Amino acid sequence: MNSPVSSPALPTYADVVAAHERIAPFVHRTPVLTSAYLDALTGASLFFKCENFQKAGAFKARGASNAVFGLSAEQAGKGVATHSSGNHGLSLSYAAGRRGIPCTVVMPRTAPQAKKDAVKGYGGRVVECEASTSSREAVFAEVVAETGAEFVHPYNDPRVIAGQGTCSRELVEQVEGLDAVIAPIGGGGMVSGTCLTLSPIAPGIRIYAGEPEQADDAARSFRAGHIIADDSPETVADGLKVPLKELTWHFVKNHVTDILTAGEDEIVAAMQLVWKRMKIVIEPSSAVPLAAILRNPDIFRGKRVGVIVTGGNVDLERLPWGRS
């Protein structure tokens, strides 16, 4: 099974429980932080689940670790591969490094050197392709043919979704009486994991997704009732440009209460607010939920709201606000 799974099976909550046990030695049980200032500002009680403190700097370490440590010894020997210039590539390299197996990440030649170095820093191999989808697919097929590596998709993979579901499992253990949880949505891996976990164990918690207005394919899909993919969206929340796929669409369609959007300036302002008031480094994608809460105060006022801070990998030398 080296090629992308065409009709992957839906994961179950039992898969989340198994994933949690499997990955516990390799990922952090991240803390939940609060901010009196942001509570006063929103009129809600916000509980920030800090996956920016996660291994490799993002929640993606959960799903990647679940995929890697669930492999048979035989498959593990051939390694894993993915195409991602973002947190998933980094996280897969991290997880493979911990298991001591090969990992290949196909990345565009044009990706920042720092991202390539980060993958290599965890022991992964970077294979460059051109920026086009056709080049990426051709190069990736070559890698898999040569190595026999297992493809781990960034989100349309039941192992990955089950791994991401461990985050909300911790959150409901850490915070009692949540009324809602909100997470950013790109491909929908984190939101799907959240649905997978909460719908059986805490069905009263409403699940919201936050999405950049300029990459609102999930919100439009949600309203249309079928997957709509954006054509090359541009947003500061660069982790959220990818479209939903069949597995994640299943969870979004069936379990999400609403998808709320935020504008670019709102995302940057929310990001800066978190840095300034909470003293934590979060990436732009992670600021989208707070931006959505600030835009929709009536939905959240008086509620206890879990906010998934998905990651903290940001280029400190290219922050999305100007120098004064």
State the distance between the two ends of the chain, measured CA to CA, in whole angstroms.
54
Quote the least distance from Cβ 229 to its own copies, whole Å.
31
* Contact call for residue 200 and its own copies (CB under 8 A): no
Given a contact cutoff of 8 angstroms between Cβ atoms, the answer to whether 78 and 147 are in contact is: yes
Number of residues that bind its own copies (CB under 8 A): 24
- Residue pair 109/130 in contact (Cβ under 8 Å)? The answer is yes
Shortest reach from residue 269's CB to its own copies, in Å: 12
Using CB under 8 A, which of the segments 50-58, 68-76, 167-175, 288-296 binds its own copies? 50-58
- Considering only residues 53 to 92 of the shown chain, the ones binding its own copies according to CB under 8 A are 53, 57
The residue range among 70-78, 148-156, 203-211, 271-279 that interacts with its own copies, by the rule CB under 8 A, is: 271-279
Helix (H, G, I), strand (E, B) or coil at 46: strand
* Residue with the two structure tokens 């996660």: 54
Site string for its own copies, 13-32 (x = CB under 8 A): ------------------x-
225 contributes a contact to its own copies by CB under 8 A: no
CA distance 75 to 227: 33
Residue 279 as a binder of its own copies (CB under 8 A): the answer is yes
Q: Which of 281, 288, 290, 293 binds its own copies (CB under 8 A)?
A: 281
Choose among 92, 153, 146: nearest CA to 123.
Answer: 92
Q: Which of 31, 46, 306 is nearest to 181 (CA)?
A: 306
23, 27, 33, 195: which one binds its own copies (CB under 8 A):
33
Largest CA distance in the chain: 56
Question: Which listed range, 41-49, 170-178, 184-192, 269-277, lies at the site for its own copies (CB under 8 A)?
Answer: 269-277
Angle at 149 (CA atoms; ends 313, 22), nearest 5 degrees: 60
Whose Cβ is closer to its own copies: residue 221's or residue 310's?
310
What is the C-alpha to C-alpha distance for residues 62 and 92, in angstroms, rounded to an integer?
Answer: 9
The answer to whether residues 164 and 91 touch, using CB atoms and an 8 Å cutoff, is: no
Task: Give the whole-angstrom CA distance, residue 209 versus residue 217.
Answer: 12
Sketch the per residue contact string, 292 through 321, with its own copies: x for CB under 8 A, - otherwise: --------------------x--xxxxx-x
Q: Closest distance between its own copies and the C-beta of residue 99, in Å?
A: 17
Question: Beta-strand (E) ranges in 174-271?
Answer: 180-184, 206-212, 258-262
Q: Which chain residues interact with its own copies by CB under 8 A?
A: 31, 33, 50, 52-53, 57, 272, 275-276, 278-282, 312, 315-319, 321-324
